[in-house]
Amino acid sequence: MSEDTESTDRIARLRPAYQADIAAGWERFFEPRRTDCPWCGSQELTTRLRTTDLLQHKPGRFVLDRCEGCGHTFQNPRLNEQGLDFYYRDFYDGLGEKQLGDTFGGRTKMYRGRAESMLPYDSAPKRWLDVGTGHGHFCAAAREVLPHTVFDGLDFTDGVELAEREGRVDRGHRGSFPDLAPELGSHYDVVSMFHYLEHSTEPDRELRAAWETVRPGGHLLIEVPDPESRCARFLGRWWLPWLQPQHLHFVPVANLRARLTEMG
Ligand SMILES: [Zn+2]
């Protein structure tokens, strides 16, 4: 069977489930709208953006609010678990896996750059945990920069199991980071979160999990879209990193720094 026929067949098989989901209405995919900021508790919220799913074109409308108290920007109302499942489905796995695998695989240079950014701080970390590792492509590329480092990956999708089978990560941990953190222990020289925090429902819990798993004196490496960037202002809803509805929280750098300092 050609790839095209195979893909057409898969789409045909998936269609009834999508049609049933859409017919049931998508309002049920949302938590109640918040009246306070999830980061600082302030009630001064303003609407920053209204948009739709510009990538997968699934139905639904999404609103990002901005807290006037601290600048935190977040999806409000936020998708619930059922909603996240609906909008993530076939994006990273299933139908989208092959396409994304190719796209991500082609990003080796960027991944190497991320690994190299660690060198001035620790030129030979022993153990590195990549949180939100997906299919493990970052770890595979980072090994070429740091051949003696053990790379573990963590993700809540089965992509991490694939990553372990393919040898891209030494160990793959599947599940939620805050839930797994206690058993992982605090012995990682580096914990990285590349474009992870903005997907999480509670970024604050993720930071605490990171604090639990980085060894004393180790490093936490975070890469997130900056809601204060000029491009975000100029491009409005067409700024790609808004990535609605997947990105739930946009934490300004100053807020991140303050919270991490508080935690020690
Ligand atoms: Zn706030």
Q: What is the mean pLDDT of residues 64-70?
A: 96
Q: Kindly state whether residue 94 falls inside one of the protein's structural domains.
A: no
* 248 CA to centre of ligand 1 in angstroms: 14
CB 150 within 8 A of CB 137: no
Same domain, 52 and 125: no
* 12: in domain: no
* 200 in the same domain as 147: yes
Whether residue 148 lies inside any domain: the answer is yes
**Contact indicator for 151, 142 with CB cutoff of 8 Å:** yes
Ligand 1 centroid – CA 77 distance (Å): 15
What's the gap in Å between 199 CA and the centre of ligand 1? 18
Question: Is position 9 within any domain?
Answer: no
**Residue 105 lies inside a defined structural domain of this protein:** no
Tell me how far apart the alpha carbons of residues 64 and 59 are, in angstroms, rounded to a whole number: 17
Asked if residue 240 belongs to a domain, the reply is: yes
Length of the chain measured in residues: 264
d(C-alpha 39, C-alpha 31), whole Å: 17
| Ligand 1 mean position, distance from CA 255 (Å) | 9
| pLDDT tens, position by position, 180-191 | 999 999 999 999
Whether residue 141 is contained in a domain is answered as yes
User: What pLDDT does 132 receive?
Assistant: 95
Do 209 and 123 fall within a single domain? Answer: yes
Residues 193, 242, single domain; the answer is no
Structural domain boundaries, residue 263: 23-89+226-264
Alpha-carbon span 264 to 206, nearest angstrom: 15
| 196 and 125 housed in the same domain | yes
Considering the domain architecture, whether residues 236 and 217 belong to the same structural domain is answered as no
| 258 CA → ligand 1 middle, Å | 13
- pLDDT tens readout for residues 8-61: 777 777 777 777 777 777 788 999 999 999 999 999 999 999 988 887 778 888
Q: What are the residues facing 128 on neighbouring strands?
A: 151, 190
Same domain assignment for residues 126 and 198: yes
pLDDT of residue 20: 75
Distance CA(33)–CA(255), nearest Å, equals: 23
Instruction: Please tell me the predicted confidence (pLDDT) of residue 95.
Output: 47
Query: Is 13 part of any domain?
Result: no
Same domain? For 218 and 246 the reply is no
Residue 71 Cα to ligand 1 middle (Å)? 6
Q: What is the pLDDT of residues 209-261, one digit of tens each?
A: 999 999 999 999 999 999 888 888 888 888 888 888 989 999 999 999 999 99
Residues 6+ apart with CB under 8 A from 218: 122, 125, 188, 189, 190, 191
Q: What is the helix, strand, coil percentage profile of the chain, to 5? A: 45, 20, 35
Helices 203-213 and 177-184 meet at what angle, rounded to 10? 10
Is residue 106's pLDDT more than 80?
no
Number of domains in the chain: 2
Which CATH number does the domain housing residue 152 bear?
3.40.50.150
Instruction: Tell me, yes or no, whether 126 and 176 share the same domain.
Output: yes
pLDDT of residue 32: 95
